[in-house]
Amino acid sequence: MHHIANASLTDKVMSSGDSNPAATPTPCVDIQGDGRWMSLHNHFVSNSKDKEPDVLFVGDSLVQLLHQFEVWRELFSPLHALNFGVGGDETQHVLWRLSNGELAHISPKVVVLWVGTHNHSHTAEQICGGIMAIVQLIKDKLPKAYTLVLGVLPRGKMPNPLRERNAQVNKLVKDAVSSLPHASLLNVDPGFVHSDGSISHQDLYDFLHLTPQGYQAVCQPLHAHLKGLLEKQAEN
Amino acid sequence: MLFRDFGGNSGLIKTPWLWWMSGDEINPAAVAQAVEDVQGDDRWMSQHTRFVQECKDAEPEVLFIGDSMVQLMQQYEIWRELFSPLHALNFGIGGDTTCNVLWRLQNGELDNIRPKVTVVWVGTNNHEHSAEQVAGGILAIAQLLTSRLPKTKVVVLGLLARGDGPNPLREKNAAVNGFLRSWLPRLGQAQFLDVGAGFVHSDGTISTRDMFDFLHLTAAGYRAIAKPLSDLLLQILDETPEEKRASLV
């Protein structure tokens, strides 16, 4: 499946689970005391038993919060979409959730994956490896599904190392999926960074999470792209 | 320390139940503390700086201060419907503890504004502190507000239940509320409002329809709490005399 020419890149980004913590399925440990992460996971597993989504959104708070605003009902409910976002999740947490039941009862045509910005102790290469591990897992469990990876957004009010890291993650993932017929990376940043390098709180209210206005700017093109993908899936 | 100089309210200069827990130890939940930038994008300070700037431009009648429970409210339609018309400012920051709110209030977020009412909602993130300490931290915030803004009325919102089923944090938050109910009346200008009724069902569960992650409120969840809160705010604003009176010639 992978071209020989890309072998060294593939080796770099798809490190084995043991050597890349971002690509090792890991549940969240309940340190606060109310077990919310596991509750949410269980809720997603049981919730999926009687649903037949065409689209599954999975990832971190950027996915989770999307579900709370009007834009979800406008654009994604009509596509029969389910939302398995959990705030704070890193790649290894999403990997664990998808390996432990969240894909067991559903066969979506498209999986939208948006994760990576919270992987604070990992390098861009490791985060890419984590994302690619998720892409591979989805392929294994849902052979007919297409995975649409969304680029991680810039963050922070002004330029900072996390913006560079996120941009590097996007570049590495884009290269890694370029040879795959069942996955691609979509850049959903409509231009949040202004010419002076700043991000506005009107788009990212805490310079990380999207406002409803920010979501509209991200989701209009995403919705159009998704519809295109679903139509293509229907033809195949 | 700093607080002892804030004297404002007579009779409350010595407040053992705020600052000194048993054994003459200072209450850590009442110690002002900024959030350190460990992630690398300095977002907490950027948000604080933006709020300080807002104080220069705005003339709010109502100030909301606290954690993500406050912050997220502004992203829903309910804010525009019920609170924007009251000329409300929202100084919520996700993850904040009582210590962080205290720091922000002491470092510019009260400068140049004279809200008639301040709504305080914080405490659920104070994971290192006991219920008594958390309540003491909230009281410290209320006392700071009444000493810096002598004419303001303070409304402290009770901490909500959290988690899918019964768990120690629910008990802790309920205990905090219990302390607040007894202690707040001692501050004449402060009152406690419990907005948590109805979230925990008879089987002990909380629905994701109300709290999407068993902690943060959905639009429906905010709608449920916003009504009693806005009713109270309107009542207070009605009762508060205007500072400027047209002079009668």
Q: Is the pLDDT of residue A15 over 80?
A: no
CB contact under 8 A, B41 and A163: yes
Closest by CA position to A22, among listed A13, A31, A30:
A13
Does B112 contact A at CB distance below 8 Å?
no
Query: B94 to chain A: which residues are within 8 Å by CB?
Result: 206
pLDDT tens-digit series, residues A26-36: 999 999 999 99
CB contact under 8 A, A36 and B214: yes
pLDDT tens-digit series, residues A187-198: 999 999 999 999
Quick one: pLDDT at residue B104? 98
Contact criterion met (CB below 8 Å) for A60 and B66: no
| Active site annotation includes A178 | no
Quick one: pLDDT at residue B188? 87
- What CA–CA distance (Å, rounded) separates A62 from A215? 9
Residue B7: count of CB within 10 angstroms of its CB: 10
- Which of B37, B39, B41 would you mutate first to test chain A, the one with the most A CBs within 10 A? B41
Helix, strand, coil shares, percent, chain B, to 5: 45, 15, 45
Band of pLDDT at residue B15, cut at 50, 70 and 90: low
Minimum-distance CB partner of A34 among B169, B216, B218: B169
SS3 B136: helix
To the nearest whole number, what is the mean pLDDT of chain A? 93
Backbone phi and psi for residue A203, each to the nearest 5 degrees, phi listed first: -100, -45
Chain Cα centroid distance, residue A5: 27
Q: Is the pLDDT of residue B246 over 60?
A: no
Instruction: Tell me the average pLDDT across B218-225.
Output: 97
Could you tell me which chain B residue has the CA closest to the CA of A215? B75
Query: B215 to chain A: which residues are within 8 Å by CB?
Result: 34, 36
Instruction: Tell me the average pLDDT across B104-128.
Output: 97
pLDDT tens-digit series, residues A195-224: 999 999 999 999 999 999 999 999 999 999
pLDDT tens-digit series, residues A81-129: 999 999 999 999 999 999 999 999 999 999 999 999 999 999 999 999 9
Rg (CA), chain B: 18
The first and second tokens of residue B6, run together, are 């804030």
pLDDT tens-digit series, residues B144-179: 999 999 999 999 999 999 999 999 999 999 999 999
Closest by CA position to A215, among listed A28, A90, A56, A63:
A63
Q: What is the pTM (predicted TM-score) of this model?
A: 0.91
- What CA–CA distance (Å, rounded) separates A205 from A170? 23
Instruction: Give the ipTM of the model, two decimals please.
Output: 0.91
From the list A41, A60, A61, A122, the catalytic residue is A61
Quick one: pLDDT at residue B25? 79
Band of pLDDT at residue B24, cut at 50, 70 and 90: low
Band of pLDDT at residue B218, cut at 50, 70 and 90: very high
- In single-letter form, the type of residue at position A140 comes to D
Band of pLDDT at residue B22, cut at 50, 70 and 90: low
Q: Is the pLDDT of residue B182 over 90?
A: yes
